[in-house]
Structure 1
Amino acid sequence: MLLEINNLFFSHTKDKPLFQNLNLRFEANKIIALAGESGCGKSTLLSLIYGLLDWENGEIIFDETRLLGPKGNLVPGEAEMKFVAQNFDLMPYATVAENVGKFISNINLAKKRETVMELLEVVGLQEFANVLPKYLSGGQQQRVAIARALSVLPKLLILDEPFSNLDFPRKIELRERLFRYVKQHRISLIISTHELQDIMPWLDQIVILQEGRLIQNESPENTYRNPYNSYVAKLFGEVNIFNDAEATEFGLSKFSYYPKEIRVSETGFEAEVLESRFAGNYYWNKIKVKNKELVVFTDDKLDGPVTVSFV
């Protein structure tokens, strides 16, 4: 086991604890998403793991070593880990290449230059090698920080919202190259995110937090198909939620249905189409069934009454 969190207790203020008896296990060589709404404790947990915050009780064990936190380390942070937070801490008067190569030995300069350029390719910034950070956008600075963290091939890389400052095309490019690189080099990755849908193909595990409590901890497929509650289901995007009475009225086997799980069919429930809007790969539709409004995705625009069924 690469990382264990046992009975962790942490509080920002004495009267309101955030984590109470939190227990988690992370296996090596996995890509793990830490998800939940803002304020659920994602960033705080990452800071605790990396050793930037002290905890009141419990223990964090990394690679069979019990971590001590800031109280036990003169320099905050843990060996064999790298953490890219939402402030990137780049050297302002060093070039992008110099920032990326900060932790790489100078014994073999040719090898160092080769490694730096390889990492800049991973994050898509080769052409900015000789540029100072102040001339980069926030998203570009974030990518420099990620490349620098990868340079030492840590056992564990921790990323806090790494795609938050990127436009969509860059996000697509970076996420695939990044995830392939960490898998190739057997780097374990914990990534906090608000965008589960965008990175789900590369995930091995999803950990869901709500107000400091562990809500669900399973594979991406199980989490998506069998969300523990409506809070979890809503983290994957638009979803239709049914209370117990509604589920019984519709004869449903679960409380949540994603828009693609409600389909236009020959038999089923009659529905009034309230809106039908083009959304790129699909049409976004608002329909009304038995006085309940639902969102449905279809390949074609809906016009007039339809019949729908739940799958």
Structure 2
Amino acid sequence: MTDVQIAGVSKSYGPNAPVLRGLDLSVPAGTLAALLGPSGCGKTTLLRIIAGFLHADAGTVTVGGRTLCGPGVHLPPEARRIGIVPQEGALFPHLSVARNVAFGLSGRDRAARRARTEEMLELVGLGGYGDRMPHELSGGQQQRIALARALAPQPELVLLDEPFNALDSGLRTGVRADVRAALRATGATALLVTHDQQEALSTADLVAVVRDGRVAQCGTPQEVYGRPVDPWTARFVGDAVLVPGTADSGTATTPLGRLPLAAAPAGRTEGAVLLRPEQLRLADTAAGPQGTVTDVAFYGHDAMVTVTVDGLEEPVGIRVAGPVSVRPGQRTGILVEGEATLHP
């Protein structure tokens, strides 16, 4: 297993087009890390630099203690021992499944190639599919074959460039779980590029939120979701309720009442108080702050109820489990559970 160290990586596509601005990232060995960010933030550019397809303007990339690029160093892609799973699988259409998986095993004898190919097919749950052609497979099966092909040469690092985008939502969840299980079974270190917050939070061990060519925050999914570093990150990694508040002595006074804070700032401080929609509860109008329901979006397993709260300019979202009894136009009370976070 190998760790990944990225230090001060910069890349511009012209004098007025900087993409990466001194990006730093550390990924421990055996970790599946997600690079999460909006389109144009530099995620794919970073992946291409790590793979060797692009030259960085500055900075270093080290994998397992071996410098892949840096001042005076730029190893070619074939010398980097990196496996790549691109979007939509990108299998060779004229080769069978087995020959696709064995493509990077040219240095081994025939028996060793066959054994490794069968091992990888079993790992991704497609044992016995070796004689099929790519067009005979579903999209999810093609993505799993692409992963098997990437893992077969035992790379030091696996790069996954938004590999689930072309799959429908029902299939995507299952394929993500299969890919994660296969990576963990081999102990591979991996970087997943995605702009899908749910995908990053549910799949990765480590989430690096990229904004304007830098890592805005890096931590476990629970840390990034529960303790975002700023309101932008809070909104990007999930639904957020942000209300004005004044903190004093470990609590914040807000239009939603007095709320305990996870980390109390020194002295009296004003700022934006962050809550997640699942922390809010609908209540009787006699309890707590009040508002008017303006919208109900039902998703089956839960619903998002939008409420215009008395004293607040922006409506708030309240995530409700199961059936919803309220309707637009109805008055409701609001209760808050758990701790809030203050961003001065």
Name the TM tier (shorter chain): 0.7 to 0.9
Q: Which residue of 299, 305, 322 corresponds with 1:285?
A: 305
Match of 2:273 among 232, 249, 255: 255
Contact (CA 8 Å) 1:12, 1:18: kept in 2 or not?
yes
The answer on 1:302 being equivalent to 2:325 is: yes
- Counterpart CA distance in 1 for 2:220 and 2:101 is 33
1:264 aligns with 2:282: yes
Superimposed CA distance per residue, residues 163-205 of structure 1 (whole angstroms, 9 cap, x where no aligned partner): 1112233322222222122222211111112233245344221
**Cα distance change of structure 1 residues 5 and 176 upon mapping to structure 2, 3 Å threshold:** same
Aligned to 1:84: 85
Letter in 2 for 1:170: L
Contact 1:273 1:302 in 2 (8 A): no
Matches within 5 A, 1:199-210: 199-210=200-211
Secondary structure class of the residue paired with 1:19? strand
SS in 1 for 2:289: strand
CA distances 1:80-118 after superposition (whole Å, capped 9, x unpaired): 211223375432311122111212365253x64454344
Q: CA deviation at 1:33?
A: 0.9
In structure 2, relative to structure 1, the CA distance for the partners of 1:259 and 1:58 (3 Å cut) is: same
Supply the distance in 2 between the matched residues of 1:108 and 1:20 (Cα, whole angstroms): 46
Counterparts of residues 40-55 of structure 1 (less than 5 Å): 40-55=41-56
Q: For 1:19 and 1:190, how far apart are their aligned partners in 2?
A: 17
8 A contact 2:240–2:277 mirrored in 1 = yes
Question: Aligned-pair distance for 1:209?
Answer: 0.6
| Alignment check: 8 A CA contact 1:86 1:160 kept | yes
User: Does the 8 A contact of 2:282 with 2:332 survive in 1?
Assistant: yes
**Which residue type is aligned with residue 160 of structure 1?**
D
Greater shift after overlay, 207-216 or 289-298? 289-298
What is the CA–CA distance in structure 1 between the aligned matches of 2:140 and 2:113, rounded to whole Å? 24
Q: Which residue pairs with 2:22 in the alignment?
A: 21
| Percent identical residues | 28
Judging changes above 3 Å, is the alpha-carbon distance between structure 1 residues 238 and 228 closer, same or farther for their aligned structure 2 residues? same
CA distance in 2, matches of 1:224, 1:77: 37
**1:58-89 per-position Cα deviation (integer Å, ceiling 9, x unaligned):** 211221122238x9668435432112233754
How many angstroms apart in 2 are the aligned matches of 1:100 and 1:189? 18
Give runs of ≥4 in structure 1 deviating > 6 Å: none
With over 3 angstroms needed to count, the CA separation of the structure-2 counterparts of 1:277 and 1:56, relative to structure 1, is closer
Any gaps of 5 or more consecutive residues in structure 1?
Answer: none
- Candidates 106, 109, 120, aligned match of 1:107: 109
Does 2:25 correspond to 1:62? no
Instruction: Answer yes or no: is the 8 Å Cα contact 1:84–1:159 preserved in 2.
Output: yes
1:8 corresponds to: 9
- Between the aligned partners of 1:57 and 1:93, the Cα distance in structure 2 is 40
CA distance in 2, matches of 1:38, 1:294: 26
- Aligned to 1:238, what secondary structure does the other structure show? coil
Q: 1:217 to 1:167 in 2, by over 3 A?
A: same
Q: Does the CA-based 8 Å contact 2:242-2:274 persist in structure 1?
A: yes
Which residue pairs with 1:157 in the alignment? 158
Secondary structure at the residue paired with 1:260?
A: helix
Unaligned 5+ residue runs, structure 2?
Answer: 247-251, 262-271, 338-344
CA distance in structure 1 between the partners assigned to 2:15 and 2:126 by the alignment: 45
How many residue pairs get aligned? The number is: 309
Structure 1 residues 44, 78: closer, same or farther in 2, change over 3 A?
A: farther
More helix by share: 1
When normalised by structure 2's length, the TM-score is 0.79
* In 2: Cα distance, 1:257 partner to 1:127 partner: 50
Following superposition, the deviation at residue 214 of structure 1 comes to 1.6
| Pairing of 1:104-253 with structure 2 (within 5 A) | 104=105, 107-109=109-111, 112-126=113-127, 129-134=130-135, 140-243=141-244, 248-250=254-256, 251-252=258-259, 253=261
Query: For structure 1, which segment, 258-267 or 237-246, has the greater mean C-alpha deviation from structure 2 after superposition?
Result: 237-246
Contact 1:4/1:26, CA 8 A, preserved across alignment: yes
Report the alpha carbon displacement of residue 39 of structure 1 after superposing the two structures with TM.
0.7
State the AA in 2 paired with 1:282. Answer: D
**Alpha-carbon spacing, 1:260–1:74, altered in 2? closer, same or farther (3 Å):** closer
Report the Cα offset of residue 15 of structure 1: 2.1
Measured after TM superposition, the shift of residue 43 of structure 1 is 0.6
* Contact 2:307–2:318 (Cα < 8 Å) also in 1: yes
* Secondary structure in 1 matching 2:177: helix
Which entry has the higher C-alpha Rg, 1 or 2? 2
Q: Secondary structure at the match of 1:268?
A: coil
